[in-house]
Amino acid sequence: MIKNMDIEKQKKRQSLRVIISEIIMVLAVIVTVTVLAFIVSGYWINSDFEVERQGMLQISSIPSGANVEIDGDSPWLQRTNTSKVLASGEHKIVLTKDGYDSWSKTINIKEGLLYRLHYPRLFLTERTSEHMLPITGDTMATVSPDHATMVFVNNTTKWSFLNLNSDKLEPKPLDISKAFSSVSLAESSSTGLFTGEIIKTDWDNDGDHVLFKVRQDDKIEWVLIDLHDVAKSVNITKEFSADFSDIKILDNSANNLLAVRNHNLHKIDVSGKQISSVLVENIINFDHFDNEIVFAAKHATITVDQPTDTEYYIGYFKLGDDEITELESLDAPAEVVLSRFYDKKYITVLDGNQLSVHQKDDYSETTKFELTFAPDQMVVGHKGEFILMSTDSSLATLDMEADLVREWTIENNNFGWLDNDMLYTVSDGELIVYDFDGYNRRSIAKNTSAHFPVAITDNKWLYYVSDDELIREWIVEH
C-alpha cells in the first residue's frame, strides 16, 4: 500500500516537472520571439543599458574588401561588403584600401530602416596607361548605357564601333552610306561624306541599336542603326514620311518606339513598319517604364467654364489599354518621369522648381521639395535610386534611398556618366568625377579630351581620349 502511494507521488511530481518545463519552454519562446521582433524593428540595448531604436547600414564597394570607418572608429576586420546595426541619426562613413584613394559620406540612419550604400568606388592611385587606338581630329563618339560599346562617328560614311570589355580592342566597321539622307556620295569622295549634324543619341538597353537624331540644314531625321547588321538599320523619318519631334526606344530590342508627331504620341512597330493611331493628343513630354507611360499634356479644348489651372495635366496609361487616367491638373507645362525603386513604382513631377514624388498606383504624394532653380531636364538612375535634374552647370539630385534633395554645381555644363552611379566633367584637361549626388569630387586624370565620352567598363577599366589616342587604364589591381 505504501509502495503504491510512493509511485503515485512520483507520478505527480513527474507530471508537475513536465508542466513546469513546458511552461518555461513556452515563456522562453515568447521571450525569444519578442526580443527578435524588437531587434528586427530596430530596438537595441546600448552600452548604458538603455533601450533605443536603431537602423541598419548595408555597405558594399568597388573594389570589395575596403576598410570601413564609422564615426572615426574602425573595428577590427570590419570590411565591405557587410551590414552593421547603427543608432539612428547621422554617421560619417569613410572607406579606405591600401593603394587606393578614399571615399566618405555622412548618412542619416532612420529608426527601424535599412540604409543601402552600394555605389562607393575607390580608384587605384598608381595606374598604368595603355594606348589603344589612334583617334582622328574629326571623330566623335557615343557610349552605350552599360558602357560596354563605343561607336565612333566622323564626317565619312565609314564609322566603327568597339567592344570595350574585350582585352584586345578591334574596331568593327559600320557603313552608314545607305542609312542617312545626310550623306553625299560624290564621285570625288572614295568613301562618301556624312554631312549631317548629330544632335542626340539614344541606345537600347542591350547596346545593340543606336537611335540618331540628325540635323541637315533645317530638316531633322531619325535613324535607328543596327550595330550588328547595319543593313537592317531603319531611317524612321524616311520610312514613315513624317517629321517627328521626339522618339524614344520602347523595348530592349528597339523593335518598338514611342514617337511624337504634330504634338501627338504614337507607337511605332519598326519591323512591321506600322505606326499606331494617336495615343495621346497635345503631348508636351513623356516617359515610360516597360509598357507603362506617364506624360504631361495640354487639354484638347479649353472652355469658358474650365478654369485656367486645368489647361495642362499629368496622365498615365498602359499600352494595350484604351483608357487614359488623368492624374493631376496643372497651370503650366511640367516634366514627368516614371521610375521603379525596389518593388515600387513612382511618378516624379517637376513643375518649374517644384519637385513632387508620387506612388504610381494611387498617385499619392510621398514627398515634395522646392528647388532654388528650375531644371530643364531629369534623368533617372539605372535602378531608380536617384533622379538627377540639371540646367547648365546647376544640378539637383533626389536620393530616393535617403529621401532628400541636394543641390550642387559642376565646373561646366558639359558632363556625362562615368558609370551607372558617377558623373564626370573635363575642365582644362582635368578629368573630374563625382558621385551621383555631387559628393566625393576627385580628379583622376590629366590632359583629357573634353570632346569624347569617358567610361568605366567591367568595373576594371577607365577609357578616355588624350592627345588623339584612346587610353585605357586599370582602376583596380589585376
Identity of the residue numbered 410: I
Q: What's the confidence (pLDDT) of residue 49?
A: 47
pLDDT at residue number 182: 83
Smallest Cα–Cα separation from 275: which of 299, 233, 243?
243
For residues 53 and 42, the answer to whether their CB atoms sit within 8 Å is: yes
Measured from the Cβ of residue 14, the count of other Cβ atoms closer than 10 Å reads: 10
Query: Whose grid coordinates read 507530471?
Result: 15
Distance of alpha carbon 101 from alpha carbon 440, whole angstroms = 10
What pLDDT score was predicted for residue 212? Answer: 97
pLDDT of residue 53: 66
Secondary structure letter of residue 186 according to DSSP? -
Long-range Cβ contact pairs of 237-240 (< 8 A, separation 24 or more): 237/181, 238/181, 239/273, 240/268, 240/275
- State pLDDT tens for residues 363-419: 999 999 999 999 999 999 988 999 999 999 999 999 999 999 999 999 988 899 999
Residue whose C-alpha is closest to residue 438's, from 461, 404, 478, 467: 404
Establish how many alpha carbons lie within 13 A of residue 304's alpha carbon, considering only the half-sphere containing its beta carbon. 0
Residue 464 forms beta bridges with which residues?
A: 471
Question: Cβ distance 209 to 224 under 8 Å?
Answer: yes
- The set of cell numbers assigned to 446 is 590629366
d(CA 328, CA 457): 41
* Cross-strand bridge partners of residue 193: 156, 184
For the chain, 478 residues long, the average pLDDT of each consecutive 10-residue run is 58 66 72 56 52 81 93 75 88 95 95 91 95 88 94 93 93 93 68 88 94 93 96 95 95 94 97 95 95 94 52 94 92 95 95 97 96 95 93 96 95 91 96 97 95 94 95 94
Percentages (nearest 5) of helix, strand, coil residues in the chain = 10, 50, 40
Q: Which residue has the cell 513604382?
A: 345
Residue 421's nearest CA partner among 390, 397, 446 is 397
pTM of the predicted model as reported, rounded to 2 decimal places = 0.85
pLDDT in tens, 236-268: 999 999 999 999 999 988 999 999 999 999 999
